[in-house]
Amino acid sequence: MSRREELADGLAGVRRRIAAACAEVGRDAEEVGLTVVTKFFPATDVRLLAELGVTDVGENRHQEAEAKVAECAGVGVRWHFVGGLQSKKAAAVAAYADVVESVDRAKLLPGLSRGATARGRELDCLVQVSLDPPGAEGRSGVPPEGLADLAERVTATEGLRLRGLMAVAPLGVDAAEAFDRLAAVAADFRTEHPTADWLSAGMSGDLEAAVTRGATHVRIGSAVLGPRPSIK
């Protein structure tokens, strides 16, 4: 099988899963955007994905992302930055990203703002919410009690456009339970920010749990691209 056929197969499988999860809860599959996370995979895969109809790709490491964006000049995809971000890299990321999904602290905002303004366009931002049990040492994200303040600061920052929330289900926790909590946080958040209605949740292993709980965007890597090499 050619790489193109492998990717087409992977995409078809993921699209079927999204459609089935939507059908389960009476949602229209068109409501769920697919971001293919291409970290560790080459720019040639991004080109093939674009030819196969993918409009949004995700990356989680600045150096790799920056290089890949440059290699993909002319490929019409939107780039989502989904990884942990150092504040000193924030301006550089804003120079190529169309969406930064991992805004998890106020310290990132000045750099993101500078990068976006220098580029002369608004940067779509999602605030990453932590779904870790209180006190747990886990993946990044602002704890729900810090969300209102951080979201307010994003809306007050020049060059940034608050679009919604992103979350990753914690390891070792039932994803359905985690995404139930996320749905409650998101409902509350939307009363304050009704137009910031994106909810990015769900990966290869748990997309159904996320889609049935209201995710508007899923971030899928291995189910489309195959297993990632563990060391680069």
Ligand X SMILES: *Cc1c(COP(=O)(O)O)cnc(C)c1O
Name the nearest CA neighbour of 43 among 8, 78, 67: 67
Residue found by looking up tokens 């006190």 in the block? 135
In the complex, minimum distance from the CB of residue 156 to ligand X, in angstroms, rounded to a whole number: 26
Dist. CA 82–CA 93, nearest whole Å: 11
In the complex, minimum distance from the CB of residue 153 to ligand X, in angstroms, rounded to a whole number: 22
DSSP string, 118-132: HHTSPEEEEEEBP-S
Q: Are 94 and 116 in contact (CB under 8 A)?
A: yes
Dist. CA 139–CA 135, nearest whole Å: 12
Closer residue to ligand X (CB): 185 or 218:
218
Closer residue to ligand X (CB): 110 or 138:
138
In the complex, minimum distance from the CB of residue 35 to ligand X, in angstroms, rounded to a whole number: 8
Closer residue to ligand X (CB): 39 or 62:
39
Closer residue to ligand X (CB): 60 or 130:
60
In the complex, minimum distance from the CB of residue 194 to ligand X, in angstroms, rounded to a whole number: 26
User: Which residue of the chain is nearest ligand X when measured via CB?
Assistant: 221
Dist. CA 117–CA 114, nearest whole Å: 5
Contacting residues toward ligand X, per CB under 6 A = 37, 39, 60, 82-83, 168, 203-205, 219-223
